[in-house]
Amino acid sequence: MSGNDQESGILVATPDGRFYQWPKGPPESPDLNLPIPGTTTLPHIFPKGTGVDATLGERGKRYGEFKDQAVYAQGMADIARSSPNWHTMAPDQKEGLSIIFNKIGRILNGDPDYSDSWHDIAGYATLVDKRLKAEGK
């Protein structure tokens, strides 16, 4: 058995190649059909190759290098923060724009035809729009 420290515990690989999250270190021979000690939660099984490295690899293929995408997103954020309106905006407006800049950075640096990026932009704008309409603005 081998483990990699994770924020919420340890990612454990069993001899048969299954991975699961075990908080605060696993026992020597955990029974995956029994709840995690002190809980009613069964261990979460991770198929081999689905850890953080796999996720980063998938995102890199879709969006390009993160360091390059960050240049676009932070450039837009710098412009927004320099606006005289920035300091008067509500937190959801600032956060909405920040996330939208991230999504635009992904589009500019990666796959511009990935519809989910465009959908996400519309979603975050819609959240602010709904709040403003609910407040009669």
Q: pLDDT tens digit string along 12-32?
A: 555 455 555 656 555 555 555
Q: Which residue in 7, 1, 61, 68 sits closest to 30, CA to CA? A: 1
**Model confidence at 98: pLDDT above 80:** yes
Mean pLDDT computed over every residue of the chain = 79
When pLDDT is averaged across residues 125-129 and rounded to a whole number, the result is 96
Q: Both 64 and 124 in a single domain?
A: yes
Q: Both 34 and 64 in a single domain?
A: no
Q: Both 64 and 118 in a single domain?
A: yes
Q: Both 105 and 130 in a single domain?
A: yes
46 vs 135, higher pLDDT: 135
pLDDT by residue (tens digit) across 53-97? 777 888 888 999 999 999 999 999 999 999 999 999 999 999 999
Specify the pairing of strand 2-6 against strand 9-13: antiparallel
Q: Both 75 and 107 in a single domain?
A: yes
Q: Where are the beta strands (DSSP E) in 47-95?
A: none
What pLDDT is recorded for position 3?
A: 42
- pTM reported for the whole predicted model: 0.64
Q: Both 27 and 43 in a single domain?
A: yes
What pLDDT is recorded for position 6?
A: 39
What percent of the chain is predicted at pLDDT more than 90? 55
Q: Residue 87 has what DSSP assignment?
A: G
What pLDDT is recorded for position 55?
A: 78
**Model confidence at 130: pLDDT above 90:** yes
What pLDDT is recorded for position 57?
A: 83
Domain count, the chain: 2
Neighbouring-strand partners of residue 13:
2, 19
Q: Which range marks the domain in which residue 33 is found?
A: 2-50
Q: Both 42 and 106 in a single domain?
A: no
Q: Both 127 and 72 in a single domain?
A: yes
